[in-house]
Amino acid sequence: MRALVAILVVLSLAGAYAAGRYGRVSSLDLSTVESFRAALDDWDLLARSYRFNGFLQTLNADELVPALEALEAKRDWLAKEEVQNFLFAWARFDPAGALDWALSQNKYRRKTTVPAVMYSWGFHDPSAAQSALETLEESLVEEAAAQMIAGWTHGGDRAGAFSYVAAQPAGTARQKSLGALAAALAREGAESLILWVDTIPTSEAAGYRRVAFQQAAEALARVDPVRASHWIETHLESDYSGPALNAVALRWTEQDPEAALLWLSGLPASGTRAQALQKGVERWLKWDPKGAEAWLISVTPAEGLDQAVRTLVKRYARAEPSRAIGWAQRIQDPLTRELVTTGVGRTWFRRDPDAARAWLSESQLATSLQQAILQAPTPSDVEDDRRAEPVVADDEAA
Amino acid sequence: MSALPLALWVIALAAAFALGRDGPPAQHNAGSVSSLRESLDQRSPIDRSFGLSLAFTQLNAESFEEAIAVVEADPARWSEPDFRLLMAAWTRFDDLEPVDWALSQRGTTRSRAAGAVIETLAFRDPLSARSVVDSLEDADLADKLHDKMILGWARSDFRDDLSALIAAMPPGIRRQKAAAILAIEIRKDGAEALIQWAEDIPDDARANFKEIVFDKAANSLALADPAHASRWIRTHLGRSYAARAAGVITQRWLEQDPVAALDWALTLPANANRDETVASGFASWLERNPVDAEAWVLSSTPAPAVDPAVRVLVRRDYLPKPASALDWAHRIDDPGIRQRVLAAVGRSWFARDPEAVKSWLPESGLEQQIQHVILHSRPKRLATGEEGTAGLDLELDDLTVGGE
């Protein structure tokens, strides 16, 4: 009997502990306005987000007025995404009312509130959202349209969104819409995105295909740069691959610069590739100069990397010309190497002839290159030249 | 059962319940990591945020490794708000590891994750956050994280130390932004707190700090309550640290109630940048809503304070519609300025279309002296000694009010 009592006591204590431990989250009734108010007063980000969004999952017309009052009382403390989520919930059952409220905000807040409503409206009822879009003032339309299309795509009616964007007149608004559409598709997977662009009918204007391709490459490179690079390679011959190549270079460099630059340097030589390489190296140098330089030193010099090396030459040309000339010697194309070396050397010689001359005498540069550099006019020559110029030119320069 | 054991049993049950409720978070279960993955797939932003916050609440120190693996598998799907939730959860267990992890990421992931963790860290331990930001070599990232550090710090219990830190910063954009962030956060505690902060800054604070704080405080207050801001700044007009604040308030007020904003600007003393404030405020209103802006000028009694607005209209019209510009110029109240502007517009027009001016002048109602100036004065010369239409623009300096 005693043993049975002891077991019952232990079990009941364990049950009470478990009820306290595992029931604390589920016991909250998140659907009440009271819970929503508590969320707005909660500075613990996780608890706040849980209660805030838990309430919004069931927000309905009956609770809207007290919920909105609670929200507006804490307006200054709200994060942007909290307002957006509130509007998303509101626009589920009363998009016109949500839009009116969004439009009543000051001009800074309108920039985020109106697109948030249009995202939700596009998500739930794209047809009505299109009509609402036409009532907006011009300064709000582009971003609102882009978000409506993103919502429309996420809502599931991709074909409708595609048709709508294709029917937009060419211009920045359509470019923005294509960007929003591409980003929304990229979130759902690379294949959806690629399929969309690769099946754009040839009857569409070339400009439309070009912008769609560029926006898709950019969006895909953000989420999967390796997949984006494979896709781009199948389009390198097209006349619209340049901006897309740049976009992939930049996005991939942000994530894995070594892989991105190796890929770019292995592509067939072209002006487009050179530009993409330059952009990639510049981006890398900006956030990790030591890493970028170390990588360029570690790889075997190749013509494909000349543009990247030139970016480094440019970086050091003014502050450390000897270092810049050292980098220039890694340029593989002989003519380019000579031109770049001479250019940097001459600029140095003009600014500080003694230092340049002293360095050159110790350098391993070919005699012809040294002579070419030393032929640059010195500062005193330049001063004499300036004196000889007409006075009018000086006035204009001033 | 006697009363005592029963009471002890009830107390023990209550204690067990409380221990479970208030004890450490529930131990890791595989479900929380899988629900993290499911949350990322949610189409609705509400379901996504709800799912992420719930999943993070249920993770413990050990299970975070799996959660981070989920992030690393597809970092591009994580927005900055997502990272804020992640860091809020992770920093419950460890401060340093989340910082190291965020800074070891690349590209936009690094920027978003590091921004989230620095803001979170600064809220709890601003000095640690500061030492992280100060150690960064990447200048762009350091600038961004500096703003996040200021934001977290301004929202923390250590806010009182922040103003002195910003005052001691070297002049530049970082200092300006930091003061602006702090002004916005202080205003959330009420206008009086904001005003108190600004007024408590010593007049001789280094590198114009009081002026910067007045600008930012005026801006922050005017966004919420421009009338209150205008009453406040009036008590400081004429002081060097408040030189730009009236203009800042006018610009913010214009966005809400242009007529009230301009009417207030007209009441500023002439020595308190009134003309520049009226001109720049009116110019921005005219650009956004020309019909209402022109109607305001027409309904205003001509006065020296209104002249800067009229001159904005003259400058807008003198090239495309010179006759209209001359009509506007007639409304200038100051006789000396009016004559100079009329002559400048007339000369500009005459240089481009002398026949039109000759036929228009007799009917213009302009004084004979001005008509003579228009027809017979040579345009000013350029510094180069060349005559040309560009020289006419120099003359039209008469139309410009400083600050436009």
Residue recorded with tokens 């200038």: B332
pLDDT of residue A387: 41
B255–A106 CB contact, under 8 Å: yes
Identity of the residue in B14, B22, B256 whose CB atom sits nearest the CB atom of A106: B256
pLDDT of residue B3: 74
Mind listing the pLDDT tens digit for each residue in A230-258? 999 999 888 788 888 998 999 899 888 99
pLDDT at A61 over 90: yes
pLDDT at A21 over 60: no
B46–A154 CB contact, under 8 Å: no
A45–B84 CB contact, under 8 Å: yes
Identity of the residue in A57, A223, A257 whose CB atom sits nearest the CB atom of B50: A57
pLDDT of residue B20: 56
Provide the shortest C-alpha distance from residue A54 to chain B (in Å).
6
A257 vs B contacts (CB less than 8 Å): 106
What is the block-wise mean pLDDT of chain B (404 residues), using blocks of 10 residues?
A: 72 69 45 86 92 92 88 87 94 90 88 95 94 90 95 93 95 96 94 97 95 97 95 94 94 94 95 91 94 96 96 94 93 92 90 90 86 77 36 46 40
pLDDT at A64 over 90: yes
B21–A24 CB contact, under 8 Å: yes
Give A65 or A240, the one with higher predicted confidence. Answer: A65
Give B260 or A11, the one with higher predicted confidence. Answer: B260
Could you give the ipTM of this predicted complex?
0.73
Provide the shortest C-alpha distance from residue A255 to chain B (in Å).
5
B49 vs A contacts (CB less than 8 Å): 49, 52-53, 81, 85
The answer, for B89 touching chain A at a CB cutoff of 8 Å, is yes
DSSP label of B95: S
Smallest Cα–Cα separation from A118: which of A83, A143, A86?
A143
pLDDT at A279 over 60: yes
What would the mean pLDDT of A269-295 be, rounded to a whole number? 86
Give the pLDDT band (50/70/90) at residue A28. confident
